[in-house]
Amino acid sequence: MAQKQIYLDHAATTPVAPAVFRKMQPYFNQKYGNPSSIHGLGQTAAQAIEKARQQIAVFLNCLSEEIHFTAGATESDNWIIWGLVEKLRFQESINPHIITSAIEHKAILEPCQVLLKKGLIRLTILPVNSNGLVSLEDLKKAIKKDTRLVSIMYANSEIGTIQPISQIGQLIKKLNPKRKHPIIFHSDAVQAANYLDCSVDKLGLDSLSLSGHKVYGPKGVGLLYVKKGVKLSPLIRGGGQEKGVRSGTENVPGIIGLAEAVSRINQNNKELKKLRDKLITGVLRDINQVELNGSFKDRLPNNANFSFKGAEGESIVLSLSAKGVFTSTGSACASHSLSPSHVMLALGLSHEQAHASVRFTLGQQTTSQDIDYLLKILPGIIARLRKISGR
Amino acid sequence: MYNKKVLDHFQKPKNMGKLKNPDVVAEVGNMQCGDIMRLYIKVKDDKIKDISFETMGCVAAISTSSMITELAKGKTLAQASKITFQDVVGELGELPPVKMHCADLAVKALRKAIKKYQGNKD
């Protein structure tokens, strides 16, 4: 019998849902026209894209023209930052102040750091408390006269903590009428979209990033919602697609898949939460010297992240993998570097604790039996690694 | 990411655990990646008679620890001091570039243990 495979890495990526895959298929080789072509085949594709935009507008509760398709949320995050900074430099010749948090995805932090190094922005990086949450008070204090962008992720990819986005949105909405220049409020909602209300109006967002492959859609496609009236310079220039703001022939099958995936999001989190709580309770009960990283309360229903004293993350992940259970240390991207996760360090964890962290992210197919199997094998794996480490 | 030999040494490490009555215990660590490697050795007639390790670290750290104990066992102290990280990597087949420092850490641990033993003896 083939070894069973239990996928507990849904924050890294999700499988494309069969219904999504079916919707995408015709756009590869039947309705393959270029949406910019004026002939029938091209217009079929163009109409499909506009329909996709409308589907997503329902989910975000926004206008369809406020949605711009990209090659993924990394592009979307880069675009809001570079695009806004460039626009402001061009229109007002200023170097704006930007506020973000210490646990943002690198797609936010890296562009900010580069702009800071170039002297094109001033930057405040808000700390998080030991639960992984940004404080509204800290944000209030950080806002300056020339603050033009606040970027706070909706939910964290590593520890699943949910930031008080609607409270931040309210605060900014209240401040903006009194300001000479409004603050743009952006949120990377990649991890949140499956589980939390993404109605941009309710949240008070001016901008939001989404990714296809985290919501049972395809990889290589995402979107940036930008509220009407907010002007961004293009990040990618060329043929003037997406009304001139994002060039490049549209990824038609990807966009169709993204829209289908988004419209199928079912935020019934109860069952998932039950499984996650079973996992958390079981691990804390069966293994000693283990800590849950990040808030238990303000947390995505599918995320559990632990540090196991005396056992290193990669060793745990590969031991689990050998037994058919797929998990991750911090974020999958972090495996390109040796340094411990910036998210773990921001929580105040020591290097040793940060290196000992493992993330379990559940998904649609996760069953109670999967959790039973994990709870059966994990104590032995940790015990073996602790024996090797002598700790 | 890792080849079969590296994974084999990770799954079934050789010479793992504490050694009873060792002549020397040496510990080295890498602050950045968080690995800590501890070697225990017993010396007889200028030869490494017995050796074992305890390592808190990634797969590569555990595999290279296991490999260095295999390479060092039975060698004279002079021979063992000449083991390089290339020898360790070569025996394992290959390591991902970001993990090369693990082999280096294993070599440092062995050399530290030998130096410590020679220092104790004098």
Q: How many domains does chain A contain in total?
A: 2
Could B56 and A318 be called an inter-chain contact, meaning their C-beta atoms sit closer than 8 Å? no
Instruction: Report the relative pairing of strands A122-126 and A97-101 from DSSP bridges.
Output: parallel
Environment class of B14 (CB within 10 Å of its CB; exposed 0-12, middle 13-18, buried 19+): middle
Domains defined along chain B, listed by start: 4-116 (3.90.1010.10)
Q: CA of A380 to nearest chain B CA: how many angstroms apart?
A: 13
CB contacts of B36 in chain A (<8 Å) are 389
The single-letter code of the amino acid at A315 is S
d(CA A142, CA A124): 7
Digit-coded pLDDT (tens) for A193-214? 999 999 999 999 999 999 999 9
Catalytic residue chosen out of the listed positions A62, A112, A198, A333? A333
Q: Is A333 a catalytic residue?
A: yes
DSSP code for A17: P
- Comparing CA positions, the residue from A187, A93, A95 lying closest to residue A139 is A187
In this structure, is residue A300 part of a structural domain?
Answer: yes
Is A1 inside a domain boundary? Answer: no
Q: Tell me which of A242, A263, A284 is where a domain ends.
A: A263
If asked whether residues A107 and A212 sit together in one domain, one would say: yes
Residue-range definition of the domain harbouring residue A286: 6-15+268-389
Does residue A317 sit in helix, strand or coil?
helix
Q: What is the CATH number of the domain that holds A110?
A: 3.40.640.10
Q: What is the pLDDT of residue B35?
A: 87
Q: What is the pLDDT of residues A123-166, one digit of tens each?
A: 999 999 999 999 999 999 999 999 999 999 999 999 999 999 99
Can you tell me the distance from the alpha carbon of A185 to that of A310, in angstroms, rounded to the nearest whole number?
41
Q: Which residues of B touch A (CB under 8 A)?
A: 2, 7, 10-11, 13, 16-18, 31-36, 38, 54-59, 61-62, 98, 101
| Tens-digit pLDDT profile for residues A18-31 | 999 999 999 999 99
The residue of chain B with its CA nearest to that of A319 is: B11
In this structure, what are the phi and psi dihedrals at residue A15, rounded to the nearest 5 degrees?
Answer: -70, 150
Q: What pLDDT was estimated at residue A121?
A: 98
- Chain A: nearest CA to B15, how far in angstroms? 10
With CB atoms and an 8 Å threshold, state whether A311 touches B56.
yes
The pLDDT score that the predictor gives to residue A5 is 95
Token pair in block for residue A299: 């947390």
Residue (of B45, B54, B49, B50) closest to B26 by Cα position: B54
Position A129 in a domain:
yes
Interface test with B, best of A312, A328, A337, A384 (most B CBs within 10 A): A312
- Residues near A23 by beta carbon (within 8 Å), at least 6 away in sequence: A256, A257, A260
Q: Of A263, A280, A311, at which residue does a domain stop? A: A263
Rounded CA gap, A24 and A33, in Å?
14
Q: Identify whether residues A258 and A324 lie together within a single domain.
A: no
pLDDT at A222: 98
| CB–CB contact B7 A318 (8 Å) | yes
DSSP state of A341: P
Residue after which a domain boundary falls, among A196, A228, A263: A263
A387 to B57: CB separation less than 8 angstroms, yes or no: no
**Residue A292's CATH number:** 3.90.1150.10
Structural tokens at position A61: 């509760």
pLDDT of residue A335: 60
DSSP assigned state of A312: -
Q: Are A6 and A370 in contact (CB under 8 A)?
A: yes
Burial class from Cβ neighbours inside 10 Å (0-12, 13-18, 19+) for residue B42 reads middle
Q: Has residue A213 been placed in a domain?
A: yes
Question: Is the same domain home to A319 and A372?
Answer: yes
Backbone angles phi, psi at A268, to 5 degrees: -95, 95
Q: φ, ψ for residue A339 (rounded to 5)?
A: -65, 145
Answer yes or no: is A37 within a domain: yes
Which residues, numbered 303 to 342 in chain A, qualify as contacts with chain B under a Cβ-Cβ cut-off of 8 Å?
Answer: 310-315, 318, 322, 336-340
Best mutation target among A326, A358, A389 (most B Cβ atoms within 10 Å) is: A389
Question: Does A253 reside within a domain?
Answer: yes
Q: What is the token pair recorded at A191? A: 């991890």
pLDDT score of A331:
54
pLDDT at A352: 82
Residue stretches of chain B with pLDDT short of 70: 122
pLDDT score of A46: 98
How many C-beta atoms lie closer than 10 Å to residue B3's C-beta?
A: 13
* Judgement on whether residues A182 and A286 belong to the same structural domain of the protein: no
Residues A273 and A259 reside in one and the same domain: no
| Per-residue confidence (pLDDT) for residue A336, from 0 to 100 | 65
ipTM of the complex: 0.93
Tens place of pLDDT per residue across chain A (391 aa): 567 899 999 999 999 999 999 999 999 999 999 999 999 999 999 999 999 999 999 999 999 999 999 999 999 999 999 999 999 999 999 999 999 999 999 999 999 999 999 999 999 999 999 999 999 999 999 999 999 999 999 999 999 999 999 999 999 999 999 999 999 999 999 999 999 999 999 999 999 999 999 999 999 999 999 999 999 999 999 999 999 999 999 999 999 999 999 999 998 899 999 999 999 999 999 999 999 999 999 999 999 999 999 999 999 999 999 999 999 996 555 566 677 889 999 999 988 888 889 999 999 999 999 999 999 999 999 999 999 999 8
User: What SS3 string covers chain A?
Assistant: CCCCCEECECCCCCCCCHHHHHHHCHHHHCCCCCCCCCCHHHHHHHHHHHHHHHHHHHHHCCCHHHEEEECCHHHHHHHHHHHHHHHHHHHHCCCCEEEEECCCCHHHHHHHHHHHHCCCCEEEEECCCCCCCCCHHHHHHHCCCCEEEEECCCECCCCCEECCHHHHHHHHHHHHHHCCCCCEEEEECCCCCCCCCCCHHHHCCCEEEEEHHHCCCCCCCEEEEECCCCCCCCCCCCCCCHHHCCCCCCCHHHHHHHHHHHHCCCCCCHHHHHHHHHHHHHHHHHCCCEEECCCCCCECCCEEEEEECCCCHHHHHHHHHHCCEECECCCHHHHHCCCCCHHHHHCCCCHHHHHCEEEEECCCCCCHHHHHHHHHHHHHHHHHHHHHHCC
How many Cα atoms are found within 13 Å in the side-chain-facing hemisphere of A138? Answer: 16
* Helix-strand-coil split of chain B, %, nearest 5: 50, 20, 30
> What is the model's pLDDT at position B30?
83
